[in-house]
Each structure stands twice: as C-alpha cells, then as structure tokens.
Amino acid sequence: MLFRRAATDLGLSPTERQVRRFALYRDELITWNAKMSLLSLKTPLDLPVKHFADALTVLPIVTGGPARLLDAGTGAGFPGIPLAIMHESLEVTLVESSRKKASFLKQATRLLELEKASVIHDRIEEMMNEASQRASYDFVVSRAAFTTEQLVGIAGYFLKPGGMLIAMKGTPPDREIEDALAAAARFDMEDAGRRILELPFGTGARCLVLFRKNIRHRRL
C-alpha cells in the first residue's frame, strides 16, 4: 500500500488497524468523490501521499496525551481525520461550512468508528460567536482554507493559553507570515517558528507555520 510506504518515509509506523481505517477512508472518499467534488485526484499518489501522508506531517506536533484539536475548514477531512486515526486519544472537531461535505464527514467518522471525532456544519466565523467554544482547544489546524493572518485571529479565539496554531502551507508564505506577525499581538499570539518538510516520493513540500497563544493573556 502506497500509504504505508509514505508513512514509513515520514518516520511513522501505523498499526494494521490504522492501515485498515485508512483503506476504508480511501474507499469512502472515492465513492463520494464520484458523486460530488470532494478532492481533485489526478495521480495514484494524490490520495495516499498528498492527502493522507501530508496530513500526518502535523502528527509530531500534536502527539502526546489527550488533547482537543479544531480543524478549521476541513473539507474532506484533512488533516483532522488522518490525525484522529493515528492519535486515538486526540479529540478532533471537524468544522466545515459545506452541507454536502459535512454529510460526508459524518458518514466517514461513523464508518471509521472515530469516537473522539465530531463534525460541526458551520462557518468558523459563526462559531466565534459561541462563548462555549472560546479558549477550549489545545490545537487549531487548517490546511489552505484561510490566510495565516486570518488563522491567527481564529486561533486567538479558540485556543487555550499555551495552545498552538498549525497553519499548513506550501512553500513558506513570506508575505502571509509578515502580515500574521503584525497581527499576532492583537490576538495574544506569538511566533513559534516554521517546520518545512519534503513529502514522500518527491511530491512536494509542506511548510507548517506555528503560532502559540500567550499563556498570560489579556481579556479580549
């Protein structure tokens, strides 16, 4: 299986149970993708490497004990569902504004028996009006759904003090980062660096842009 080889290249060792779940996820994605546009799949490497393995570049940052992760604008479930498969004590909230995609996500999480994954069909901006969601997550992650500056503002609302924003980008987005750094103080966020990785099989690069919520933060 290409996914297993890609995971090994990233230094990961998925169990047989986890590999089976990825296979189920793959099959469900392909079935739904034939009915509605979830993903652009052009080569055999796209799903196992550019989506599954790519999502797992985040795993070393969120590894450890139980934690809560918000996946903002998750689309077809990336990176949230792969993270939920590999990190079974991670509580993952998948937020998606498209009704059809949210329906797919609910079906996929049921099929994969991801008991700690939940789906919210809503715009992330609307969720920021809900006091119960404020400062309640250890991680906020998003893959290409927002600019880095927008994500700094979103993370400033949802993260607990000390929590981490992980913005998944392609090549280092220098201008985006400059804008985000300028905005960070307004949202009690601080720069936590970058991680640049090569994806398996020479399929591209992934830049993880990191910001941390200040532990001593002012009341907004």
Tell me what the pLDDT averaged over the chain comes to: 94
In tens, the pLDDT along 56-72 reads 999 999 988 899 999 99
Amino acid at 213: K
Q: What are the tens digits of pLDDT across the range 129-147? A: 999 999 999 999 999 789 9
| β-strand partners of 206 | 197
pLDDT tens digits for 145-155? 899 999 999 99
Answer whether residue 19 is part of any domain.
yes
Q: Work out the end-to-end distance of the chain between its first and last CA atoms, rounded to an integer number of angstroms.
A: 49
pLDDT above 50: residue 43: yes
* Mean pLDDT in residue range 171-180: 87
Domain of residue 181, residue span: 2-213
How many folded domains does the chain comprise? 1
Q: Please state the rounded mean pLDDT for residues 93-107.
A: 97
Distance CA 83, CA 99 (A): 22
pLDDT value of residue 52: 97
Question: Does residue 219 form part of some domain?
Answer: no
133: domain CATH number is 3.40.50.150
Q: Does some domain include residue 53?
A: yes
Per-residue pLDDT band at 220 (split at 50, 70, 90): very low
pLDDT band at 14 (very low <50, low <70, confident <90, very high): very high
pLDDT of residue 64: 83
Q: Is residue 218 part of a domain?
A: no
DSSP designation for 199: P
Q: What is the pTM of this model?
A: 0.94
Q: Could you report the per-residue pLDDT of 183-204, keeping only the tens digit for each?
A: 999 999 999 999 999 999 999 8
Tell me: pLDDT of 1 over 90: no
Full DSSP string of 73-139 = T-TTTTTHHHHHHH-TTEEEEEEES-HHHHHHHHHHHHHTT-TTEEEEES-HHHHTT-GGGTT-EEE
